[in-house]
Amino acid sequence: MRYTTHQAKTHLSRLLDEAALGVEVVIAKGKKPVARLVPYVVRKEIARPKVGETTSDPFEIVEKREVAGAIGDTVVYF
């Protein structure tokens, strides 16, 4: 539903009830929409890991290889 700012000020409680039920409430200034009331959704808070707590499985090195190069080059291991 679309309401003017005057209607929104006069019937704010009713508009909040409508928005809580899921009805799209648009507030317009003149003919131009400027705001939309939507229901507030509580987001589920994800627990953060404690200091020092491992959050993933450890990985293991399968193979250690040396890359060929000239003398004096930096040795790179994969």
Structural domains of the chain, count:
1
> For residue 61, is it within any domain?
no
What is the pTM assigned to this prediction? 0.52
- The pLDDT confidence band at residue 6, using thresholds 50, 70 and 90, is very high
CA distances from 65 to 56, 61, 77 (A): 25, 11, 6
Give the per-residue pLDDT at 14.
94
- Give the 3-state secondary structure of residue 32: strand
φ/ψ of residue 29, rounded to 5: -105, 105
> For residue 7, is it within any domain?
yes
16-20, 50-54, 58-62, 64-68: which range is least confident on average? 64-68
> For residue 52, is it within any domain?
no
> For residue 32, is it within any domain?
yes
> For residue 60, is it within any domain?
no
Of residues 73 and 43, more confidently modeled: 43
Question: Which among 55, 39, 59, 56 has a CA at the least distance from the CA of 47?
Answer: 55
Residue pair 27/36 in contact (Cβ under 8 Å)? The answer is: yes
> For residue 12, is it within any domain?
yes
Q: Within a 10 A sphere around the Cβ of 19, how many other Cβ atoms?
A: 17
pLDDT digits (tens, 9 = 90+) for 12-49: 999 999 999 989 899 999 889 999 999 888 888 888 88
Domain that holds residue 15: 2-37
> For residue 68, is it within any domain?
no
> For residue 50, is it within any domain?
no
